[in-house]
A and B are shown apart, each in its own frame.
Chain A
Amino acid sequence: MLLVILVIFAVAPAAPWIHRAAPRLSGWLLAVVPAGATVYLLAQIPEVAAGNAVTAAYPWAPGMGLTLSFYLDGLSLLFGLLITGIGALVVAYTGAYLKDHPRAGWFQAYILLFMGSMLGVVLSGNLLSLFVFWELTSLTSYLLIGFDHERAAARESAWQALLVTAAGGLALLAGLVLMGVVAGTYDLETLLASEDVFREHGLYVPILLLVLIGAFTKSAQWPFHFWLPNAMEAPTPASAYLHSSTMVKAGIYLLARFNPMLGGTDLWFWLLTGFGAATMALGACMALPQNYLKRLLAYTTISALGALTMLIGMGTELALKTAMVFLLVHALYKGALFLVAGSIDHETGEKDITRLGGLRAHLPITFAAAALAALSMAGIPPFFGFMGKELMYEAVTGDVAEGAILGGLALLTNILMVTVAGLLVLRPFLGARQSTPKELHEAPVAMWLGPALLGGLGLFIGLFPGFTAANLIAPAASALLAAPVEVELVLWHGVNLPLLLSVLTLAGGAAIYWLRDGLGRLTAPLAPLTNLGPERGYELTLAGVLGFSAWQTRTLQNGYLRRYMLITVLTTIILAGGTFVTRFAGLDSIVLSEVRFYEGVLAALILLSAVFAVWTSSRLAAVAAIGVVGYAMAIIFLIYGAPDLAMTQFVIETLTVILFVLVFYHLSRFAVYAGRATQFRDAVVAITIGVLMTVFAFVATQIQFHDSIHEFFAERSLPDAHGRNFVNVILVDFRSLDTLAEIAVLAVAGLGAYSLLRLRPKRKKGS
């Protein structure tokens, strides 16, 4: 299985070259790869249908729990076939759709990369590797939506989609890691076998919420749905593939896959069913007023995703089976309809159904395919879609809490589905011919093959459901329930409630189709309300974060060096001072050596000079004060037995003073810039840190954990290092590395000063 995915990933980067080499055939050539994958998956049907999962594992980062393991059971097989099968058709379709586009090869590359990633998601047998592929689908989706990157709308929609799905992705990561921490493993097979590890655990609620955020953002559940209609900026093949058949179903896959581990609780039921049903109904309602083909399809996709979520949430055996059936139903008809929309756009140059009509004559095959798909969407027998609808009605009217509400919502949704199906097919293809920007002719083979196949399958499976039921639906549902089930799909169940509801659906759908314009006029005043939705919330949140960031940056990093230093010093005071004051155990004893007169004078001199340097307004006086401090220190060094140190201090201090004078000669007079309040504040801060340092210094003289190591130097300098002056020996021998580095600093400083003075920027013209 790894090989399959790797091949797809490997071919992807080659796509641009293949396209350049054979522009007419590249679509067909590249489609061979996913077609091959489809064949491979089909070959696995016997094994999987028998109830055995096909697995493989390759280590990637086992230390962190990330193994590239694969787990192919009924659920992954169903999804996998959708991904590779529809993928093959889309790749071939793209070959014709983007025939003249200069970057068509890149597009194919992105599609293939996406395909590999999506396959990785559904085939993954390890939670972390699932996440890796999950994020890759977000990334490739971003590249695909923004493919037409010269247009601002494409860029913005791509960005929005990425941010929303990535935010969900991060929540998902937290949830997955928590699952790993709780269960002690990330291996899917193991997790599926262990009962109730999560449901009983204290962290169940956070885990569930995090995983749901991930799934809901990816699968466009309300309130995270708004990115999906905007993603229609992508070229149509991408929309057909990602945003109806595969990527948005990733969330559904996740919910289905995790049902055995996290499902079955009340919280699961209420959250999934609630949000799912709401999305289902809202999506359908929002679809009704749309006039652009792709937007109609986008909103109805949102509705379908909601329905799937709801069914998984309901959790009964029938509901889960229905979910799998509906998954396949929807993928077939929606994929076909999207491709048809693309064909219409490609051939006529028009996207608005109010401006299309009578295309039947010029695009007969496309029309046939569209009709097949639409009939399945409307749920008319004997199409597969009819079975799906019946099963849904059966599931919601069965033994389920709030079944009446769910049933009502389902009815409403399906009515609108019928209407939209009519809008999609009847308006453009039937009726009077309207003028179009482009010359009309039938789409090329590559572009009607896909819809025809998918639409045809909708009819075929409706008539002969046995194979599909036993080999695709049953294993998938078994995976969901973690127990083997049988699935029987029959067209006629007898006259019962679901059948009545179906009749009602058709009637209602037709009625609303005729009344649509009138309804539109009635509800027109309500239109501004749509701006208050979750998308607005997203925009406000983003704006809020950015506004806060701007304020924060302006306040903290405002350009004033003294602000920076004030904060640094305050931090020192608060942290170091705070720690000391709260934690210091106190001094046991205080030992003070006596203060001799001249020593006291010297110390006082230092203190006074420091204060003088602050207070004076003469530059030279300030420099002189520094000099006094230095010399006084040198004498103190002398008194306390440090003659070398004293000598060095004298010399360096003299040099310093000279250097200061040389530089200050060029600088301007001291000026006082700050007001009294600032001076006072700064003085308080400065004195505080002075006090802190005094305390620290004093405490350090009183406390000694250990004798210092200097005895070694006293004993060993002469015999081993052959030196009498211990300080010199330390500098030159014991700690020579320090001296080496010190000289390096000096050299670099000299070099730096020289370069600063000599290397000046070139004068720009006119400055």
Chain B
Amino acid sequence: MNLLVVSPILIPLTAAALGLMLWRWRRLQRLAGGIGAVAGFAAAVVLVATVWRERILVTELANWPAPYGIVLVADLLSSLLVLVSAGMGLLVTVYSFASTDKRREAFGYYPLFQVLIMGINGAFLTGDLFNLYVWFEVMLMASFVLLALGGERPQLEGAIKYVTLNLIASAIFLAAVGLTYGVAGTLNLADLGDKLAETDNPGLVTTLGVLYLIAFGVKAAVFPLFFWLPSSYHTPPVAVSAIFAALLTKVGVYSMVRVFTVLFLHEPEYTYHTLILTIGVLSMITGVLGAAVQSEFRRILAFHSISQIGYMVMGLGLFTPLALAGAIIYIVHHSVVKANLFLISGLVHRRQGSHELKKIGGVYLACPALGLLFLVTAMSLAGIPPFSGFFAKLALVQAGLEAEAYIAVAAALAVGLMTLYSMTKIWTQVFWEPAPEGVTDGAAFPDDPSAGPWGMVIPVAILAAMAVALGLGAEFMFRYAMAAAEQLLAPAEYIGAVLGRPS
């Protein structure tokens, strides 16, 4: 059994358990959370490096052969996503040290955080359909609690919507898994890929695929299943919003990609080009239009997430190597940038006490460094070169035009313009426009002229630097993404590696 592949699950588990055992001592809980995050990140780096060499790593848990036991599969895509989750987990943990209030910390914030990371990693790495369901539930449960922790009224209201909509999705997912087993007799993804390939009833299989699409679609917040996101994302503390924005929806997107590249290849015209592409385009449009009329910092970001997910789904819908590579680049870019925007909103809130755009202002004059960090990140989201967002969009535009999906590309570009609109709206109203009457910048901390405590500023700076680095180093990201995309489009390699056959 390959411990390296298991470590993204094992390390957060240990950190969480340790944290729970140290329940009485808040400081030690922080330590456990921090060590878990650092160790997790280190393991993820080693994992990605190894997978880049070996192309795909498979671990049979307890050494039971697939498809009878559960396997963990680290291919190029899943190990990349594990790295993203570990990296974001580390940075947000550091931010949490400086920003989370003591009461939340005392009620298990850090162990919960680690369980969330564990669930996410499990979902990325698993090669078994029911196991995927279970990791989904782990992740969901941890997110339910993190969302509601603190008990403020907006949190509770948001949590109710979040919980119920996700429970419906889970019920559909479970039903789909049950139906799949009933029809195919196995739960291992690779084995399913094998067995579903030669079927004389493709319509039934496609129907199953649609059920999975809906279940994952709720998770990924695509149109028309996204409602939980704008209702709840802006209610918990900013660090929680940030890690949600970075990772939760990506698990939904990843599952869609995985399931549709290994299992449901029967009717590509219908599934991809019609269904998934349409969903992607509508998500893009709905999200960005929703964002355009919001007046609260975090709600704008929440609606935007829907729109950006639309881009990733569009990449899946186009179903060419370049399109999938674009989607992968987009996933990484969006995690970095969106989380950073949430974290920055936290820094602004700290200075001026509100998230409502009309009640804050003049941040640029008061703290140009913060303005610069926001500008870089926001322009990256809007797709302005030379930052990461431009390359993600470029890949998708190129893929779309090559595939002659002109409407999708037109929508993508128009949505990009509206994204720029929202980002500059925030810039104008928060950073350029002078603060409204009665608001003094930095009033809470008159003796502290810096942007914020180191714990909050360093993650933000690192993430902003990443947005630049991913842009300048786009070739590297592109090569990796193309390799991952090509690997995804040749499921024989995946199936062969898992089932132990030469591919």
Residues of A near any B CB (own CB < 8 A): 59-66, 106, 128, 131-132, 135-136, 139, 142, 146, 149-150, 152, 155, 159, 162-163, 166-167, 170-171, 173-174, 177-178, 180-181, 545-546, 548-550, 552-553, 556-557, 559, 561, 563-565, 567-569, 571-572, 575-576, 579-580, 582-585, 693, 696-697, 699-701, 703-709, 712-713, 716, 733-738, 740-742, 744-745, 747-749, 751-752, 754-756, 758-761
Contacts and interface: CB of A to CB of B under 8 A. Distances in A.
Nearest to B409: A174
Given A61-B478, A132-B385, A561-B160, A583 B202 contact: yes
28 contacts: A60-B475, A65-B398, A106-B368, A136-B385, A163-B420, A171-B413, A173-B394, A174-B397, A181-B402, A546-B292, A550-B293, A553-B289, A556-B224, A559-B231, A579-B206, A584-B201, A585-B201, A700-B178, A700-B179, A700-B183, A703-B204, A705-B185, A705-B195, A706-B184, A709-B67, A734-B64, A738-B70, A738-B134
The 4 A-B residue pairs whose C-beta atoms are closest, nearest first, are A583-B203, A708-B185, A752-B145, A700-B182
Interface of B: 13, 16, 20, 61-62, 64, 67-70, 103-104, 107-108, 111-112, 115, 118-119, 122, 126, 130-131, 134-135, 137-138, 141-142, 144-145, 148-153, 160-161, 164-165, 168-169, 172, 175, 178-179, 181-186, 191, 195-196, 199-204, 206-207, 210-211, 213-214, 218, 224-225, 227-228, 230-231, 267, 270, 275, 286, 289-290, 292-293, 303, 364, 368, 379, 384-386, 390-391, 394-395, 397-398, 401-402, 409-410, 413-414, 416-418, 420-421, 424, 428, 432-434, 472, 474-475, 478-479, 482
Contact of B401 (A174, A579, A705): A174
Most buried by A among B165, B191, B227: B227
B152 A761 contact: yes
B475 A62 contact: yes
Contacts of B270: 579, 583
A761 B413 CA distance: 44
Contacts of A697: 179
Contacts, number: 298
Contacts of B145: 748-749, 751-752, 755-756
A569 B413 contact: no
A736 to B, nearest CB: 6
A565 B289 contact: no
Contact of A748 (B68, B141, B214, B474): B141
A713 B156 CA distance: 44
B163 to A, nearest CB: 10
Contacts of B67: 709
A565 B269 CA distance: 29
Most buried by B among A65, A139, A552, A564: A564
Contact of B203 (A173, A178, A579, A761): A579
A741 B164 CA distance: 21
B457 to A, nearest CB: 19
A752 B149 CA distance: 8
Most buried by A among B191, B210, B397: B210
Given A709-B185, A758-B107, 5 more contacts: A553-B290, A576-B214, A705-B185, A705-B199, A745-B134
Contacts of B178: 700
B474 A64 contact: yes
A760 B275 CA distance: 45
A460 B13 CA distance: 79
Contacts of A737: 61, 70, 122, 126, 131, 134
A758 B107 CA distance: 9
Contacts of B227: 556-557, 563-564, 567-568
A759 B150 contact: yes
Given A564-B228, A705-B183, A735-B69, A760 B151 contact: yes
B214 A170 contact: no
Contact of A545 (B61, B144, B289, B432): B289
A741 B120 CA distance: 12
B394 A745 contact: no
B207 A150 contact: no
A568 B303 CA distance: 18
A549 B275 contact: no
A159 B431 CA distance: 14
Given A571-B224, A700-B179, A734 B185 contact: no
Given A549-B292, A553-B293, A709-B185, A66 B428 contact: no
Nearest to A716: B68
A584 B69 contact: no
Contacts of A131: 385
Given A159-B424, A585-B201, A748 B142 contact: yes
Contacts of B218: 568
Contact of B398 (A180, A552, A585): A180
Contacts of A572: 172, 211, 214
Nearest to B215: A572
A170 B200 contact: no
A149 B384 contact: no
A550 B303 CA distance: 13
Contact of B151 (A152, A546, A761): A761
Given A741-B135, A761-B151, A761-B152, A703 B183 contact: yes
B108 A181 contact: no
A155 B364 CA distance: 13
B172 A748 contact: no
A128 B391 CA distance: 11
Contacts of A738: 70, 130-131, 134
A132 B390 contact: yes
B211 A170 contact: no
A689 B287 CA distance: 28
Given A550-B293, A567-B224, A63 B394 contact: no
Most buried by B among A181, A696, A741: A741
Contact of B397 (A177, A585, A755): A177
A758 B379 CA distance: 43
Contacts of A755: 107-108, 145, 149
Nearest to B70: A737
Most buried by B among A550, A565, A756: A756
Most buried by A among B145, B178, B364, B409: B145
A706 B183 CA distance: 7
Nearest to B180: A700
Most buried by B among A146, A178, A700, A740: A700
A198 B418 CA distance: 31
Contacts of A546: 292-293
Contacts of B168: 565, 568-569
A159 B428 contact: yes
A203 B272 CA distance: 25
A188 to B, nearest CB: 17
Contact of A708 (B169, B181, B293, B432): B181
Nearest to B433: A155
A181 B384 contact: no
Nearest to A758: B107
Most buried by B among A146, A576, A740: A576
A180 B68 CA distance: 49
B474 A61 contact: yes
B141 A752 contact: yes
A749 B413 contact: no
Contacts of A59: 475
B150 A749 contact: no
A557 B233 CA distance: 14
Nearest to A134: B385
A66 B474 contact: yes
A752 B417 CA distance: 42
A233 B118 CA distance: 53
Contacts of A716: 68
A167 B418 CA distance: 9
Given A149-B364, A761-B151, A568 B207 contact: no
Nearest to A572: B214
Given A545-B292, A564-B227, A708 B421 contact: no
